[in-house]
Amino acid sequence: MQIIDMAVTPLRDLNATLQAQAGATNGTAWDIENPRGSHAIAVGLDAPIEVTVKGSTGYYCAGMNKQATVNVRGSVGPGVAENMMSGTVVIDGDASQYAGATGHGGTLVIKGNASSRCGISMKGIDIIVHGNVGHMSAFMAQSGNLVVCGDAGDALGDSIYEARLFVRGSVKSLGADCVEKDMRPEHVALLADLLERGGCDARPEEFRRYGSARQLYNFNIDNAY
Amino acid sequence: MKDDHSGAPRTPPIQSATFSQSVNAEIRRAAATGIYDIRGGGAKRKVPHFDDLLFLGASISRYPLEGYREACDTSVTLGTRHARNPVELDIPITIAGMSFGALSGAAKEALGRGATLAGTSTTTGDGGMTPEERGHSKTLVYQYLPSRYGMNPDDLRKADAIEVVVGQGAKPGGGGMLLGQKITDRVAEMRNLPKGIDQRSACRHPDWTGPDDLEIKILELREITGWRVPIYIKIGGARPYFDTTLAVKAGADVVVLDGMQGGTAATQDVFIEHVGMPTLACIREAVRALEDLGMHREVQLIVSGGVRSGADVAKCMALGADAVSIGTAALIALGDNDPKWEDEYRELGTTAGAYDDWHEGNDPAGISTQNPELAARLDPVEGGRRLRNYLKVMTLEAQTIARACGKNRLQNLEPEDLCALTMEAAAMAKVPLAGTDWWPGKPGPAF
């Protein structure tokens, strides 16, 4: 176990140290103390290390993560795990806007609630939210899976492409071209795996699936507002 | 005009200036199709431009340098504010961001080859970085766009600079669309979307809003890249004073300012022609912002949008830019709109010089296409050579003017070297109307 105390270690040194683990394969564990809401903590990592942030963070925690597992023992600001490529990010508390934005891969677990635009423009990431998500979540979501164990706000999945959305609670409204779809056996199996990976106490049968009606895929003047 | 039966002369037919034949044709086209016109390129309307400025040259009070003999430095360093490794270029003419997807792979390769031969940089576009482009570009600027198509930290770290695209001159406030017919397997894979569907490029970034957020986003990009490379911010020519101010506040090393003549791969004609400001009107306002912040020359300014010649380069730099960027002109150098393809342009219902349906992927010159047969028409080696030649000529032209103005460095050109041919150009460029010492808005005693 290695400890980095942000009360005495500048952000630049923290990230340089963690980024320098690229190529490491020993699964070294790192604890980060006193994050004090700092932005851009543990960004650009590229090694199978385990990082635990002991407190809440500001913007873009674990941004562009590859391979690493990043645990946050607190809440996170906007853009957590943005553009993540692989690895796992687990947030004990709540997440602000744009959680998992444009993520290409990996798993993001939010044990509290996520604010608006969760999973915006997601490109392959799996996002599992134990609580609720705010408005415009999964906006222009391209691929990957968003699981919401609570409720979803307005305009869920607006202009969605091929991402799959699973919601257990209510959906305030669906966005343009987002529709409810059948839960076929393959979706139940997929969701069961996602729920297990996310540590959720829920059954797949409790969820509804939403996705693209594919009516906006090619420009049509009758779809223009 | 034929008389009527009474023998009195008739009023000749008069075409309306408001409802001209071209306006009426567009109304009929809209009525028939129900869709607005989408096209590539930049503003085609005539706006005040660099042609409305002249250099004064040397005289008794100004001492010229000898052409071809006395040195005239063309080098420029970009990104000196924060980056550990600023971008060093031999010439101040860079290649603007254009995407693989909008352009063929061979065209991107040719741009990289030409830029490298000329000692300058080229830029990726919406769609990510291709290995061919990285491999053939000594200095490559990686665009960070709202869509984040193809964005990944590995390519980010391969870049020599990062350009956060907030807007572009052809469509400030607008996103883009790559139509399905250009979405090949490779383009689709790079963008994580199904083949053949229209791909929307978002008009705003997904994970930041406003200058305070942008400052934090730039911090993240610097942390991921170890504060090694410069961060550019590209803005469309809309509110250049305020946007430049906010870009600098957010931490930009370089501001890229794109006026309305700057091209795009595809957007609505109404957007291209009716949103944004002419490049000429933007430069001095951006420079004023930098001067007010005490950052002129510390944060470098790159100007684009309608730069065609060494004279345009020199005029931009005289108005305060550190460098320029070209897109449309570079494509023309590669062979875009070449009259040798006139028969095929006519088959497409257009003519050489007017072809702008870049989004449809049928470019006879093989540049704005993903059709393998068409793309094969462009030899990237020959294209690179042509671009290098063109960049060389532009540089020599700019040097010629600078020497005539007594400058041993292009960056030493200054507004005092210029006059304007029209009131509009004088007001926009803030240089005297030719033959006077006055321009509209010049501070001083009122009439």
What is the DSSP code string of A94-132? -B-TTTTTT--SSEEEESS-B-TTTTTT-EEEEEEESS-
Supply the mean pLDDT for chain B.
Answer: 94
CA dihedral B152, B158, B163, B169 (to 10 degrees): -90
How many helices (H) and strands (E) chain B has is answered by 15, 16
Hey, which residues 140-169 in chain B have their CB within 8 Å of chain A? 147-148, 151-153, 156
Chain A within 8 Å of B195 (Cβ-Cβ)? no
Rg of chain A's alpha carbons, rounded to an integer? 18
Question: How is residue B379 annotated by DSSP?
Answer: -
pLDDT at B398 over 80: yes
A156-169 per-position pLDDT tens digit? 999 999 999 999 99
Both structure tokens of B178: 């790559």
Q: Which of A102, A139, A218 lies at the smallest CB-CB distance from B197?
A: A218
Between B59 and B139, the more confident residue is B139
Average pLDDT over residues B276-298: 98
Measure in Å the smallest separation between the Cα of B37 and chain A Cα atoms. 11
Give the chain B residue nearest A159 (alpha carbons). Answer: B200
d(CA A110, CA A93): 7
CB pairs under 8 A between A and B: 103
Is the pLDDT at B303 greater than 90, yes or no?
A: yes
Q: Which residue is closest to A78 within chain B, CA to CA? A: B207
pLDDT in tens, B325-357: 999 999 999 999 999 999 999 999 999 999 999
pLDDT at B4: 61
Whether the CB of A40 is below 8 Å from some CB of chain B: the reply is yes
pLDDT in tens, A64-90: 999 999 999 999 999 999 999 999 999
How would residue B195 be classed by pLDDT, with cut points 50, 70 and 90?
confident
Q: What is the pTM assigned to this prediction?
A: 0.95
Asked if B225 is an interface residue toward chain A (Cβ–Cβ < 8 A), one would say yes
DSSP class per residue in A176-222: TTEEEE---HHHHHHHHHHHHHTT----GGG-EEEEE--SSSS--GG
**pLDDT value at position B101?**
84
Q: Where are the beta strands (DSSP E) in B215-356?
A: 231-236, 254-258, 267-268, 300-304, 323-326
Distance in Å, alpha carbon of B378 to nearest chain A alpha carbon: 29
Return the residue of A nearest to B183 by Cα.
A218
Q: According to the model, what pLDDT value does residue A108 have?
A: 98
Residue B192: what residue type?
A: N
Q: How far apart are CA A59 and CA A99, in angstroms?
A: 10
Question: Cβ A217–B179 below 8 Å, yes or no?
Answer: no
Whole-number pLDDT of residue B181: 67
Q: How far apart are CA A62 and CA A69, in angstroms?
A: 9
Please give the CATH topology (third level) of the domain spanning A2-215.
Answer: Pectate Lyase C-like (2.160.20)
The model's pLDDT over B77-132, given as tens digits with 9 standing for 90+, comes to 999 999 999 999 999 999 999 988 889 999 999 999 999 999 999 999 988 899 98
Cβ distance of B192 and A219 shorter than 8 Å? no
Contact partners, residue A73, CB within 8 Å, separation at least 6: A52, A53, A54, A55, A92
Give residue B127's pLDDT.
81
CA dihedral B133, B136, B139, B144 (to 10 degrees): 0
> Which residue from B minimizes the CA distance to A163?
B193
Which range, of A137-141, A211-215, B171-175, B257-261, averages the lowest pLDDT? Answer: B171-175
Give the closest-approach CA distance of B284 to chain A in angstroms.
35
Q: Which residue is associated with the tokens 């873009």?
A: A60
The closest CB to that of B223, out of A15, A79, A104, belongs to A15
Q: What is the mean pLDDT of residues A93-103?
A: 98
Nearest to A163 by CA among A185, A190, A189: A190
The interface pTM score, or ipTM, of the predicted complex is: 0.96
pLDDT at B446: 58
Residue B190 — very low, low, confident or very high, per pLDDT cuts 50/70/90?
Answer: confident
- Please state, in angstroms and rounded to a whole number, the distance separating the CA atoms of residues B212 and A12: 20
Q: How far apart are the first and last CA of chain A?
A: 56
The pLDDT score that the predictor gives to residue A191 is 98
Residue of B175, B161, B169 whose CA lies nearest to B326: B169
Structure-token match 């994050």, residue found: A35
Length of chain B: 447
User: Which residues of chain B from 332 to 361 reach within 8 Å of chain A, CB to CB?
Assistant: none
Does A85 contact B at CB distance below 8 Å?
Answer: yes
Nearest CA in chain B to A59: B216
The per-residue pLDDT for B68 is: 75
**Cα–Cα dist B156/B158, whole Å:** 5
Residue A34: pLDDT above 90?
A: yes
CB-CB under 8 Å, A123 with B220: no
Residues of A in contact with B158 (CB under 8 A): none
Show the tokens assigned to B109: 């390769």
Amino acid at B443: P
Nearest to B325 by CA among B123, B126, B113: B123
Give the number of other Cβ atoms within 10 Å of residue A102's Cβ.
31
- Treating both helix axes as pointing N-terminal to C-terminal, what angle do B240-250 and B279-292 enclose, rounded to 10 degrees? 50
Domain spans, chain A: 2-215
How far apart are the C-alpha atoms of B220 and A57, rounded to whole Å?
13
**Nearest by CB: A78 against B179, B180, B207:** B207
Q: State the average pLDDT over residues B234-263.
A: 97
Query: How far apart are the C-alpha atoms of A154 and A116, rounded to whole Å?
Result: 9
Architecture per CATH, B46-335+378-429: Alpha-Beta Barrel (3.20)
What would the mean pLDDT of B137-152 be, rounded to a whole number? 95
Confirm if B164 and B146 have CB atoms less than 8 A apart: no
Strand duo B93-95 + B418-420: pairing: unpaired
B82: exposed, middle or buried (C-beta count within 10 Å: 0-12, 13-18, 19+)? middle
